[in-house]
Amino acid sequence: MESVGIYALGVAFYAVCVAASIALHEVGHLVPAKRFGIKCSQYMVGFGPTVWSRRRGETEYGIKAIPLGGYVRMLGMFPPKPGQPARVDSTGRLGMLVDQARSDAQRDIGPEDADRLFYQRSVPKRVVVMLGGPTMNLLIAAVLFTLLWTTYGLSRETPVVDTVSKCVVPVAASKKEQAAAPPQCTATSAPTPAVAAGIQPGDRIVEFAGTRIEEWSTLQGLIRANPGRTLPLVVERAGAQVPLQVTLIKDNRYELDGNGLPVVDDQGRYVLVPVGFLGVSPTTVRETLALTEVPAQFGTFIAQTAAAIVNIPSKMVGVVKAATFQGERDPNGPISVVGAGRIVGEIASVQGTPENPINFSDKFAGAVQIVAGINLALFLFNLVPLLPLDGGHVAGALWEGLRRRVNRLLRRPDPGPVDIARLLPLTYVVASLLLGMSVLLIYADIVNPIRITG
């Protein structure tokens, strides 16, 4: 029962942090909008029915029942229909939807609001307002990662040998198989090249095939790229450098992506490829970063997160199969806010082993890293130039600015604001896809979740 309570506390901590991140995202929109004189009638955290609200001045602040986002309602997001006041006409079903949305937006505008509309502001001001939310998420991620890396530290694999595999055994094709039946040596198993070469735990590999080794990733790449070859290596042992010779074998091992993580197919099974194999594992150490080292590491995390977001559509096939129990979950695949909450709960409740206990600082750091990662993902995801995302509004404003500049150079009349309401049919499609993807991920995270404890 105690572990259940700790699990619940972890989930509650995560929920509060996500709610705060959403609220601050919307503050990032609200503050510059008010600063530029745009009337904001609502500031809401969540969607659906209103749970609580209170009016302060001209803005209603509140919390809604579904905590999966939020919004700031700014007047004048859609300009009037060019050449005539907004009205509903009968130019087809999509045209009616567009005109209805434009008409609804105009209905909220009173005579006193005539010069306080979003579309009336300059392009730079509109860009600042729409980027305010994602920028807030970026700042949250930057602050959390900086505190985490400079105080708790960052795990890094070093070319110091932690363990030497005694024999060559096949790798498990999935995480579930790893947990169910860990590979074991048998009487017929061949010794690994590391054993044959005399490599020992604690050895620091300082040179391999004539290449100076500073990072584990460099050594790993050289090993995998040279199956079947006999190569020299130098290890540092008890303060002395010991030259050795090793004959690598070709073996089926996990294919790795650009981040060094195993590649998983649509069935949730690891992809195996024939590569060079030595039979050693690295020692993982935790090192704090100097403040000057944080920007480079943060840039690496941004690139990795961006690559993960780009790969989400291709990963959804595997999520569908996992949700229908036709495959296993990709441990490195996308998850919903519900799945992330479950992982934080597991981190909070896991006890570790007597030999390797997990203390409070480890758990807290793990939870903070997930919250920081979610904020970084929100920042990048909202930059996608499609409505209803913030990036879609930014793209519309930039297109308007470019169009006006071109017309000015060509001595043509000002074409006026871009009528982004005409993009509403595409917006509905994108919103439906995002909603469907979110529902699918939440369902998969409930019935077939990714677990960190096996």
Which residues are the active-site residues? Answer: 26
How far is residue 376's CA from residue 301's CA, in Å, rounded to a whole number? 9
The alpha carbons of the chain give a radius of gyration, in whole angstroms, of 28
Residue 228 neighbours by CB under 8 Å, 6+ apart: 247, 248, 249, 250, 276
Question: What is the b/e burial string over 355-371, where b = at least 16 CB atoms within 10 angstroms of the residue's CB?
Answer: eeeeeeeebbbbbbbbb
Token pair 């947990």 is found at 179
Residue 88 neighbours by CB under 8 Å, 6+ apart: 96, 99, 100, 103
Residue 364 neighbours by CB under 8 Å, 6+ apart: none
How far is residue 49's CA from residue 62's CA, in Å, rounded to a whole number? 10
CA separation (Å) from 428 to 89, 94, 389, 420, 435?
20, 11, 12, 13, 10
DSSP string of 23-43, one letter each residue: HHHHHHHHHHHHHTT--EEEE
How far is residue 438's CA from residue 336's CA, in Å, rounded to a whole number? 7
Residue 191 neighbours by CB under 8 Å, 6+ apart: 166, 167, 168
Q: Which two tokens stand for residue 93?
A: 């079903």
Half-sphere exposure of 436 (CA within 13 A, CB side): 9
Nearest to 267 by CA among 327, 331, 312, 325: 327
AA identity, residue 9: L
H or E stretch covering 308: helix 294-310
